Structure 1
Amino acid sequence: MEKFSQWRDKGTGIAPFLPHPSSTFANTALVSSPVPVRLGNVVLAVISSILKIPLALALGILHFGIILPIIPSYPVRRVSARLLLTILGVWYWNVSIDGARRSVSRKNALSSPKAGDIIISNFLSPLDALVYSAVLDPIFVIPTYTGEIMVYTLLGAILAALDLPVAASSSTPPPLADIQAKALASQKVIVFFNEATPTNGRALLPPAIDQVPDEANYIGSKCRIFPSLIKYSPPDITTPIPPRSAVHYLCRVVCRWKAWGVRVRIAEPLDVSGKNAIISAFDEICRIGRIKRVGQDLSAGSKLDFVKAWKKGRS
């Protein structure tokens, strides 16, 4: 992969946009294994597809077409999202909120995200939004790579993770106060994918928005900020390179007969006295995830050139 060396971070050597070796359909079952193993994998992939595709389509239509627009009950929406993830192959869960394991109930209540709070998370795949929906049922914010705020529904956030980063919003970006008012009215938290595009999870990109507007008066008095890490095992479910289509990605996921695990770790709310909240959140994500941050030359905007080079190199 030396041809893509210009998209490696100069300080760490990490290439955040390179897909994992097993993240293509062909590699999932057909590469560098003995013939009997490859044939067995193919058979299992076919069986998995036959079983999963009808179930995934049926539950997807039920979840997005009926449950989300009609049923306001969070427990129902949460169970439906988890069931859909299970059908897609995410079988193992490890969700933790730092501080919520303490025995004092008042401390537990104060440690958990509440309506209007902001969760700043890394960004890996279309399943991220579905995972957070199963945990918190939030509003999603994904900025453009030029730093404009964009609000997404669950389905919109999923589709955004299947596409290239957006350069500019087609409408006037809403102020954070309006987003928070909407979150409070609907009793939701806000999940903020501030990298602006999915990566392979090996590092954290520079934030597309590097400071909360009116930060000194906003954080603490009006909302809290929670850093959060999402991680998959194995990591080949990530989409640093956009797939050919949503259908292609769905087929790649359901054709895999082995399961994925997901880990979500939400850190305690930041104490940002005299500090930049966004930078502090990114530092904390790196700490809890044991990952590095890459330089400004590897922002979401640089991914556009990388994808062009990647497609040219494979054509």
Structure 2
Amino acid sequence: MEKFSHWRDKGTGIAPFLPHPSSTFATTAGVSSDAPIVLRLANILLAVLSSIVKIPLVLAIGALHFGIISPIFPSYRVRRVSSRLLLTVIGIWYWNVGVEGARRSASRKNASTGPNAGDIIISNFLSPLDALVYSTVVDPVFIIPSYTGEIMVYSLLGAVLSALELPAAKSVSKPPNLAEIQAKALASHKVIVIFNEATPTNGRALLAPAMDRILDEDNHVTGKCRVFPSLIRYSPPDITTPIPPSSSLHYLCRVTSRWKAYSVRVRIAEPLDATDKNVIVSAFDEICRIGRITRVGEELGASSKLKFVKAWKKGRP
């Protein structure tokens, strides 16, 4: 992939926008070119059957979840069960969710270790499924900033679809400030989830943040707010979308063709003080620590992905 060496981090050599080698129908289905032909045919048959069974179920449950349950049902428990069911049908069967400091705080009376209403989760960004995963962990409202740093608020469905598209340059309307969003989140008992890389990557590194501050003259977030760095990771990683697929159906076909199960891991670090002006930097450092990944240079932000995708579509070597 020397053709795309321009989009490798100069310090580490990591290319955050390159799709994983397994991000194709054949390899997602478990088909190896080295396997005997009988095994390859069996894997292809299982992949096709898996898609035939899963896709109608995903579309039916997805329509129910995004069209009725998510926007209408007031009970988070119902919405959470619906999200989990949808992810299970897609193929995510194994979960590993942990909050740092939970054991130390278990003995403290009335201790609250996890994110509460009005708190902020700052997470890495990998795929359309990230938003669904977080909706099973907390009751969220999503912020995916433009690559110029404008705040953009998304519904659950909007956050899912945004991971299938190129990063946005700017908001189509006047962007709200974070204080307004937090006030609404407090009133509706929601947690704010910020995908601050502004675009999905392959998960091999963390991009430079699109928003470099939470607090400024326009965003007077209450001092009671806590900021939780969080890492999400999938195994196998072919579920990620560093390159936007040709369509949402194409992505769905690729993911559902895997007849073996996926697993997801969510790690939420201990909270940071939102009033710290360097809280974004601290949050990204914590994400790198808990995920054992590194940050790439400023030249590999979300805006760089536009040029990368253009080069990618011109033809691969």
Structure 1 spans left out of the alignment, 5+ residues: none
Aligned to 2:27: 27
CA displacement 1:186-237 (0-9 Å, x = unmatched): 100000000000000000000001111338x956714110000000011110
Say if 2:197 is the partner of 1:206.
no
Structure 2 equivalent of residue 314 of structure 1: 316
Which residue does the alignment assign to 1:3? 3
Q: What 5-or-longer segments of structure 2 have no aligned partner?
A: none
Would the aligned equivalents of 1:140 and 1:154 in 2 still touch at CA under 8 Å? yes
**Could you give the per-residue CA deviations for residues 11-57 of structure 1, whole angstroms, max 9, x where no partner exists?**
01100000000012233244523222211111111221122112111
User: In the alignment, which residue of structure 2 is the partner of 1:142?
Assistant: 144
How far 1:271 moved relative to its partner? 4.5
Give 2:177's match in structure 1, choosing from 175, 178, 189: 175
Alpha carbons 1:99, 1:268 under 8 Å: kept: yes
The corresponding residue for 1:286 is 288
Instruction: Please say if residues 219 and 225 of structure 1, whose CA atoms lie closer than 8 Å, have aligned partners that are also in contact.
Output: no
Paired residues of 2:130 and 2:232 also in contact (CA < 8 A): yes
The one-letter code matched in structure 2 to 1:2 is E
* Corresponding residue number in structure 2 for 1:73: 75
Deviation at 1:275, TM superposition (A): 5.5
Residue 268 of structure 1 aligns with an amino acid whose one-letter code is E
Deviation at 1:101, TM superposition (A): 2.6
More displaced stretch, 15-24 vs 35-44: 35-44
Distance 2:52 2:171 in 1: 40
Match of 1:159 among 161, 165, 168: 161
Stretch of structure 1 that moved more, 264-273 or 49-58: 264-273
Taking the TM superposition and a 5 Å limit, the aligned residue runs for 1:94-243 are 94-102=96-104, 103-106=106-109, 108-109=111-112, 111-214=113-216, 218=220, 221-243=223-245
Q: Match for 1:62 among 37, 41, 64?
A: 64
Instruction: Answer yes or no: is 1:245 the counterpart of 2:241.
Output: no
Runs of 4+ that moved beyond 3 A = 105-108, 217-220, 271-275
Q: Does structure 2 retain, via aligned residues, the 8 Å contact 1:232–1:260?
A: yes
RMSD of aligned Cα (Å): 1.8
Which residue in 1 is equivalent to 2:94?
Answer: 92
1:48-90 CA distance string (max 9 Å, x none): 1122112111111111111112211011100110010000000
User: Cα distance, 1:107 vs. partner?
Assistant: 6.2
| Contact 1:225-1:269 within 8 A present in 2 as well | yes
Distance 1:4 1:72 in 2: 47
Distance 1:5 1:212 in 2: 33
Match of 1:304 among 303, 306, 311: 306
SS at match of 2:228: strand
Classify the secondary structure of the residue corresponding to 1:106.
coil
Cα distance change on mapping 1:274 and 1:131 into 2, 3 Å:
closer
Q: CA deviation at 1:105?
A: 4.5
Deviation, 1:272, is 6.8
Using the alignment, how far apart are the partners of 2:116 and 2:215 within structure 1? 20
Letter paired with 2:34: S
Aligned length: 314
Corresponding residue number in structure 2 for 1:16: 16
Task: Quote the offset at 1:159 in angstroms.
Answer: 0.4
- Aligned equivalents of 1:70, 1:152: Cα separation in 2: 16
Cα distance between partner residues in 1 of 2:263 and 2:235: 5
